[in-house]
């Protein structure tokens, strides 16, 4: 890449559960998306996961306008797909502020705050209790 092309690259971070996705969105691309140096369809092994991950691009009809290089770690496949989606939405908003409204209506800009609840002492799980015996 040339030096003037690097200035157009959009950087964003997306998070979901304990997954973190670092997005490099390159305008003027052919629609190629790589996740951890693999094609997105290979990485997101289920069709539903790849649809969740690329939903912001589909919402603003920009699937073929950008190339994306994504590095994601933490959580599992579902959390990572959500993190990719969140990061792509943030990068798209940086590129074109007019896309904020459709992305916001789609719920892509909100960070999903749900996390795993911690296990408490004196019980087997976060909410489960040991069996109570009266006698």
pLDDT of residue 71: 97
Nearest alpha-carbon partner for 80 in 45, 28, 106, 129: 45
At 85, which CATH number?
Answer: 3.30.230.10
Q: Please report whether residue 132 resides in a domain.
A: no
Q: Please report whether residue 11 resides in a domain.
A: yes
Q: Please report whether residue 68 resides in a domain.
A: yes
Could you tell me the sign of the dihedral formed by the alpha carbons of 62, 68, 70, 76, in that order? positive
| Count of domains for the chain | 1
CA dihedral 99, 105, 110, 115 (to 10 degrees): -150
pLDDT of residue 111: 94
Q: Please report whether residue 87 resides in a domain.
A: yes
Q: Please report whether residue 127 resides in a domain.
A: no
Q: What is the pTM of this model?
A: 0.88
Block mean pLDDT (10 aa), the chain, length 135: 65 96 93 94 93 94 93 95 96 94 95 94 94 89
Q: Supply the range of the domain harboring residue 69.
A: 3-105
Phi and psi angles of residue 111, each rounded to the nearest 5 degrees, phi first: -80, 120
């Amino acid at each position: 890449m040339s030096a003037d092309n690097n200035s157009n690259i959009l950087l964003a971070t997306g998070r979901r559960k304990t997954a973190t996705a670092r997005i490099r969105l390159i305008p003027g691309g052919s629609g190629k998306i790589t996740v951890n140096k693999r094609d997105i369809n290979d990485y997101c092994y289920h069709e539903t996961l790849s649809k969740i991950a690329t939903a912001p691009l589909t919402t603003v009809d920009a699937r073929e306008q950008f190339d994306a290089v994504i590095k994601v770690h933490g959580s599992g496949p579902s959390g990572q797909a959500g993190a990719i989606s969140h990061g792509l939405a943030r990068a798209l908003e940086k590129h074109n502020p007019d896309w904020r409204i459709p992305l916001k209506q789609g719920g892509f800009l909100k960070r999903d705050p749900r996390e795993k609840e911690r296990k408490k002492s004196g019980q087997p799980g976060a909410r489960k209790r040991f069996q109570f015996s009266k006698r």
